[in-house]
Structure 1
Amino acid sequence: MAPYTGAMKMITALALLLLSAGFAVGAVQRPDAARVKQQMVGSYKLVSFVNIDQNGVATKSPFTIGQISYDAAGRMSAQLMREGRARLTTPQASEAERATAYSGFISYYGRYTIDADKGTVTHHVEGGMSPNMVGAELVRYYEFSPDGKSLFLMVKNGERVTGRLQWDRY
C-alpha cells in the first residue's frame, strides 16, 4: 500500500472536517427541538381562532372556546367548541339534535413532534371525536410571544396561512 501523499492527506483531512461538521449540525438541531418542547409544555386556553381566505381576509371561527395541552412525554390533546352550543333537550335526543351538538365540538389526542428547523409541531392523532381524524398528522407552524405566555399555531395550505389560533397559558 502506497504511503499517503500530500494531496491524499489533505483530502482525508477535508473529509474528516466535513463529517465532523455534519455531526455538529445534527447535534445543534436536537437541543433546539428540546428547547422548543420545553417552552411548549403546558396547558393553554384558546384566545382567538381566525380563518384566512385566499385574499388574506380573516374571519372569526365559530370555535371560540378551547384548550390545548402538551406534556413533557410528547403527548398532547386539544378540545375546541362553539360558544353557545345548545344543550340536548333530553337524554334520548333526536339524531338531528345530536348531529348539531357533535358539529359544535372538536376533540383529539395523540403524540406530538417538533421540527425546530421548519418551525412546526405535528399532532399525530391517535383518537378523536371524529373517526376520520384518527391517523391524521396535523402540521401546525408555531410562534411564541416574546414573554412566552402565548402560543400561536398557524395552519397552512402550501405557503399560505389559512388559520391562526392564539393560545394563552393558564
Structure 2
Amino acid sequence: MLTPQYEQGYLIYMPSGHMMVHLMRPDRAFYEGARPTATEAAVAMQGYVSYVGSFTVDGNAAVVLHRRDGHLNPNRVGDEAFRSFEFRNDQLILKPPAADVDGQVLQTVVYWNRLSVVNSD
C-alpha cells in the first residue's frame, strides 16, 4: 500500500488562466545551521514540489493541462502536464497518466480540498 508523500499544499487556479502548485511533505527536517549543507538542501528539495504556469481545461474530456513556466526542478520548465479531473463535493481529484515503474503500473491520485474564505478584517 502506498502512503501519501505530500500532505500539505496549495493549488491555485486564476480566472486569467494562470496557476500554481506547492506540495510539501510534513516531515521535512529543519537545517542544522543558517545555511543548509549540500545534503540538507538535496533532502529539502526532495520533500517539495512547486511549479507555476498557465492552464487550459477540456471539460468534455475532463482533462486539465498545466504548462509549466517555472518549476523547482529546472529540467521540467517548459513541459506540459495533463491531469484527468473530477469534482466530489468540495474536493478536486486530479490523476496524472499512470506510470510504469519496474513493470508495475502505478496511478497517482491527488485530492485537493477547497479552502474556506479567509477573513481579512
Q: Give the share of equivalent positions with the same residue, in percent.
A: 30
The Cα of 1:133 is off from its aligned counterpart by: 1.4
Which of the numbers 134, 152, 162 marks the counterpart of 2:107? 162
Alignment size in residue pairs = 110
Gaps of 5+ in 1: 1-57
> In 2, distance between residues paired with 1:137 and 1:72?
19
CA RMSD of aligned residues (A): 1.6
Corresponding position of 1:116: 59
The Cα of 1:161 is off from its aligned counterpart by: 6.7
> In 2, distance between residues paired with 1:92 and 1:152?
37
Could you say which structure has the higher helix fraction?
A: 1
**SS of residue in 1 equivalent to 2:56:** strand
Larger radius of gyration: 1
The Cα of 1:100 is off from its aligned counterpart by: 0.7
> In 2, distance between residues paired with 1:157 and 1:85?
27
TM-score by length of 1: 0.61
**SS of residue in 2 equivalent to 1:59:** coil
Specify which structure has the bigger relative contact order, considering alpha-carbon pairs within 8 angstroms and separated by 6 or more residues.
1
> In 1, distance between residues paired with 2:92 and 2:6?
17
Which of the numbers 144, 152, 161 marks the counterpart of 2:93? 152
> In 2, distance between residues paired with 1:94 and 1:167?
33
Please list the CA deviations of residues 40-75 of structure 1 after superposition, one character each: whole Å capped at 9, or x if unmatched: xxxxxxxxxxxxxxxxxx512321111100010001
Deviant stretches of 4+, over 6 Å: none
Which of the numbers 77, 93, 106 marks the counterpart of 2:20? 77
> In 2, distance between residues paired with 1:63 and 1:95?
22
- 1:74/1:112 contact within 8 Å kept: yes
Letter paired with 2:60: D
Which of the numbers 73, 91, 97 marks the counterpart of 1:130? 73
Matches within 5 A, 1:94-105: 94-105=37-48
- 1:155/1:161 contact within 8 Å kept: no
Corresponding position of 1:53: none
Letter paired with 2:13: Y
Question: Is 1:139 equivalent to 2:87 in the alignment?
Answer: no
